[in-house]
Amino acid sequence: MTTPSVQPLLLQVLSGQKTSRPPVWFMRQAGRYLPEYRALRSEASDFIAFCLNPEMAAEATLQPMKRFGFDAAIVFADILLIPRALGQDVWFETGEGPQLGEMPPVGRMAELAEGAGEHLASIGQTLSLVREGLKPKEGEQERALIGFAGAPWTVATYMLDGHHNTIGKGERATARKYAYEDPETVDALLDVLVEATARYFVMQANAGAQVLKIFESWAEGLPDDLFERLVLKPHQKLVARTRELGVTVPLIGFPRGSAIHAERYAAEVDVQAVALDTACPLAVGQRVQKIKPIQGALDPLLLRAGGKALDARVDQLMEAWNDGPWIFNLGHGILPDVPIAHVEQVLERIGAQ
């Protein structure tokens, strides 16, 4: 008879429990700040090929788990795989980031949405490999596996902008312009992305993801009416459709840059936790925490800087949010030039090492 493993801390928090310390993982924890990642990445012909290679992507996912005391792994993939599943060309250029070709007609993409999970089955293979790699030894604390997707609006901004937008990228100016000028097309695109993403989530959950995260990277700066139309309602639809298709694992929503709407988001979107960004005031986090668990929100630039200021902010976050269920994370992704010692410094401060 074997002793069952202890439920992952992350899942405990997402069920509303308060834990002795917050579980910790970092957005983009598998990435360029690790020398082993850079060596592995050099073996792939391009970034998309790397993401779609289950063995390589699984190894990238597991690298930070082998090096650090993180409580969860997040599958190595990219939010722009969904447009590929819908027939739009996606590629990455060094120094330029993602580039997208002409967006197919929305009607054609709607025909492909149901098959999005099947089209991206290699990500499921990655998840299965990682789940096996995370299997705990007898009596060990199990560590959770997170799957993810870009939120409909965020993915839509890239699909609409393509590689033509040269100004206002930080504000997603081209996509917002379309949202005002051609609302029917944009809303129809969001509905297609809801369906495709829900199908993608089904595949990820079936492949072993224990948590699913919705990355809304471009919720920032939207006026109230656009936030409701482009973020809030599509998230509600995505969660409802994902549940309708039989997925039961917890969901984390991350409407980055929208702290002013955080309490409303927490109350009206049926996710199990809300991730908060770097600029979210501590008091807002405390109010959201009364509605449901939170995640966040260390500044990635402070992680890069290190020193006493880093310790002080970690302590401040712990003091502010330790009375309720929360997950320690960054307010955005880890930067490529973060020293490994600074990651270890944070984990030690939290008590995760």
pLDDT at 5 over 60: no
Kindly state the average pLDDT of the residues 49-59. Answer: 97
Mapped onto helix, strand or coil, the DSSP state of residue 213 is strand
CA distances from 268 to 56, 188, 291 (A): 38, 22, 10
From the candidates 33, 37, 143, 158, which is the catalytic residue?
158
Whether omega for the bond prior to residue 312 falls within 30 degrees of 0, making it cis, is no
pTM of this structure: 0.95
pLDDT tens readout for residues 188-247: 999 999 999 999 999 999 999 999 999 999 999 899 999 999 999 999 999 999 999 999
Token digits of residue 158: 């890239």
Kindly state the average pLDDT of the residues 57-82. Answer: 97
Query: What ranges in the chain are assigned the alpha helix state H?
Result: 9-14, 35-41, 47-51, 54-67, 81-85, 106-113, 116-119, 121-133, 152-161, 173-181, 183-207, 224-226, 233-244, 262-268, 282-289, 300-305, 307-321, 340-350
**How remote is the C-alpha of 46 from its chain's centroid?**
22
Mean pLDDT, the chain, rounded, equals: 94
State which amino acid sits at residue 66: K
- Residue 214 pairs with which residues in a beta bridge? 149, 253
The region, left, alpha or beta by phi > 0 then psi within -120 to 50, assigned to residue 23 is beta
Name which residue leads in pLDDT, 60 or 137: 60
pLDDT tens readout for residues 299-329: 999 999 999 999 999 999 999 999 999 999 9
Whether 288 contacts 262, CB under 8 Å: yes
Q: Which CATH class, in words, describes the domain spanning 9-350?
A: alpha beta
pLDDT band for position 167 (cuts 50, 70, 90): very low
> What's the CA gap between 291 and 294, in Å, rounded?
9
- Of the candidates 61, 47, 58, the residue with the CA atom closest to the CA atom of residue 122: 58
- Of the candidates 182, 203, 238, 49, the residue with the CA atom closest to the CA atom of residue 120: 203
- Of the candidates 116, 123, 334, the residue with the CA atom closest to the CA atom of residue 209: 123
Q: Which is it for the CA torsion 201, 143, 73, 216, positive or negative?
A: positive
Backbone angles phi, psi at 303, to 5 degrees: -60, -40
What is the predicted pLDDT for the residue at 170? 59
> What's the CA gap between 304 and 278, in Å, rounded?
14
pLDDT at 269 over 80: yes
From the candidates 71, 78, 161, 277, which is the catalytic residue?
78
- Percent of the chain with pLDDT strictly greater than 70: 96
Radius of gyration, CA atoms only, the chain:
19
Q: Is 41 a catalytic residue?
A: yes
Residue 206 neighbours by CB under 8 Å, 6+ apart = 124
Q: Is 33 a catalytic residue?
A: no
Residue with token string 């100004």: 167
pLDDT tens readout for residues 101-155: 999 999 999 999 999 999 999 999 999 999 999 999 888 889 999 999 999 999 9
- Residue 93 pairs with which residues in a beta bridge? 97
What is the predicted pLDDT for the residue at 2? 38
> What's the CA gap between 99 and 162, in Å, rounded?
6
Q: Is 32 a catalytic residue?
A: yes
What is the predicted pLDDT for the residue at 138? 83
pLDDT at 287 over 50: yes
Residue environment code for 126-154, b if the CB has 16+ CB neighbours within 10 A, otherwise e? bbbbbbeebeeeeeeebbbbbbbbbbbbb
Q: Is 323 a catalytic residue?
A: no
Mapped onto helix, strand or coil, the DSSP state of residue 328 is strand
What is the predicted pLDDT for the residue at 163? 58
Whether 141 contacts 205, CB under 8 Å: no
Token digits of residue 48: 């998309």
